[in-house]
Structure 1
Amino acid sequence: MKISRSIISVAGLLALGCASASAQQVTGVPGSPAATTTITGQQLPPPEPNFGGVIKEKASESTAWWAPRVVPPKGAPNVLLIMTDDAGFGAPGTFGGVVPTPALDRIAARGLRYTNFHSTALCSPTRAAIITGRNHHSVGNGVVGEISTGFPGYDSIIPIEKATIGTILKENGYATSWFGKDHNTELAPQIRTVA
């Protein structure tokens, strides 16, 4: 059973959100705590903005300034990624399983389907590939965390420069969360088994 037959193109998702907003969108008074802005997403994390206030010797002569909060552009899509594994005969009907799932069918019909994803032999490596859009070895997940090793591609550590879709969306102002199994983190050294 494959974990999923879909893969997320993070650049494609962000392009969808930015397609409706080719120019930067700023709301509120610049420098105020309520100001927001959109970013292009070309550099993540985005560079820190220059301080726009004034600092003098006395606080009474200084002007406070807050960096605008990064938000998705108007019209940006909501992103919902559902992954199931080890479903066996309980696979949902949305992508060809035997269990009727009308609610999931409706959600899938209104969104995008990426159908050229190839799973690995294990759950964690497949999950690492789908949440990063990269080969599972290049993101340290050649095996599940319990049997990780100190060798490249097998340490169960996703490098910061190979961010997950959640990290990329968060840096672009999305509110993100992960519910359910999270089997893609390094185990504490005393728990890890050594072959």
Structure 2
Amino acid sequence: MPGDSVTSLLQAVGFSDGPDGGLGIVMSALAGIAAALAVAIMLSVHFHSGHRGRHDLVKHGLAASAVLVLLAFAISDIRHAAQAYLGLNPAKPAVEFEIRLPKATLTTAADIQIELLTDRNQKLAKVQEALASTADGRSILRGTVTLDYRTTERMMVLNLPGRTQSTFRLRLPASPSRSDQFGPWHLADGIVAANGGTVTSEIHDAFAIRYRVL
């Protein structure tokens, strides 16, 4: 079929149908252009067909409306294809998180930096300055960060100046669904002590994260 031939040709010149291949956006653009061109040719034939009565004017008006609808559809289709090609998440969900710290680690979150790292971007999280606490006296950092890109490679990085840098992998699909409740606590996936210090098992077990999608 013609569509299969065009697809094969585009794949031959380097486009692929994967998430980063660009084939979807090119095919969407070609489909929109072809549809608009077909209706434009039809309109041209109508407008050059000689005498036009009221019935012809109605048909021309409907044809013009069809062109506008097709163009709007093509623009919308290309926009969605471009977002998919770039990995953008149009809904831009946010993750609300809580990070549990060892006892007596912090009294304020004023100097704390928490960052979301992905294979697409990096973004600072908004951290609440007021700390919460657990029943056994551990401090809890709270904050939010938006998920701008569709990817499963997401890592939260907590920097405690002069102490440790902890990393937490977000176990979420590329396009996560919203959740009302926080998930279970997950221990840190990695902890690096400042100045080359030793990270004991007690310290490692004290850092944990839980989160939900807003």
Q: TM-score range by the shorter chain?
A: under 0.3
Using CA pairs under 8 Å that are at least 6 residues apart, name the structure with larger relative contact order, 1 or 2. 1
Task: Compare the two structures and name the one with the higher helix fraction.
Answer: 2
